Amino acid sequence: MTSGNYTIQVRSSLQYASLSDGSLMKAANGQPTVATSTPLTVWLDGARRGVQRQLAIGPTAVVNGINYLNCSTTRTNQAASAVTAARTYSQNARNYLNAGSTGARYTTWFGAYNASRYSRVSSNFVNIDNALDQNNGQLTINCSCEADLADAFAYVYPNQPYEIHVCNAFWSASTTGTDSKAGTLVHETSHFTVVAGTQDRVYGQSGARSLAISNPAQAITNADSHEYFAENTPAQN
């Protein structure tokens, strides 16, 4: 499955619905009226970041203002460290952009300087930082993931902030550094529509570097570009 927005809509025939006079509710063609739900759009991440096909409901714990769902004590502690590191990453990125810096750190991941694009990236990181800094239970780390998704990192529903589902590959990643737990949280947070609405245009440092050169307009909407800018590994000014 490829990454992207998928729209789900439920249709159901109202076979037994009746009007106030007792007559059956029918459409113009004489058939039972069909009720249609409001469309639900969800973002499904393919490739490096996986998709959970079945939602799990399990124990919930709020620790230091973060909601942890389906997480063991060990994984809660690991995820908490990742959240702390992700907050440091996002704050550092925000400060860099607020200072108007346009060094190699920026151009490597977002391409040549352009005022409009720079403003967009700056706004994105203000929103990412604000989202990760929430400490009243709004940010949820869901540790549930199907066992067969061994290569998956994480996924989100972009229109359902701020719940991040973390999968098996997340736990084997380092807390910080390239493709880290902290970087993954920045990546996934950027997908939320109310945050930055990023997409997965390319994966990996090589792809992100190439995108910055060939299409900076897309680079500023690419989730991995935001992750690598935040991780800044190896460090650039």
Active-site positions?
188
Number of Cβ atoms within 10 Å of the Cβ of 159 = 14
| Single-letter residue type at 135 | N
- Separation between Cα atoms, residue 173 and residue 114, nearest integer Å: 34
The residues that bridge with 18 in the sheet, in sequence order, are 24
Phi, psi at 97, each rounded to 5°: -75, -35
CA distance 134 to 68: 14
| DSSP code string of 165-231 | EE-HHHHHS-SSSTT-HHHHHHHHHHHSTTTT--B-S--HHHHHHHHHHH-HHHHTTBHHHHHHHHH
Query: φ, ψ for residue 142 (rounded to 5)?
Result: -100, 115
Q: Is the dihedral of CA 83, 55, 45, 191 positive or negative?
A: negative
Q: At what angle do helices 73-98 and 115-132 cross, to 10 degrees?
A: 150
User: How many other β-carbons are positioned within 10 Å of the β-carbon of residue 58?
Assistant: 10
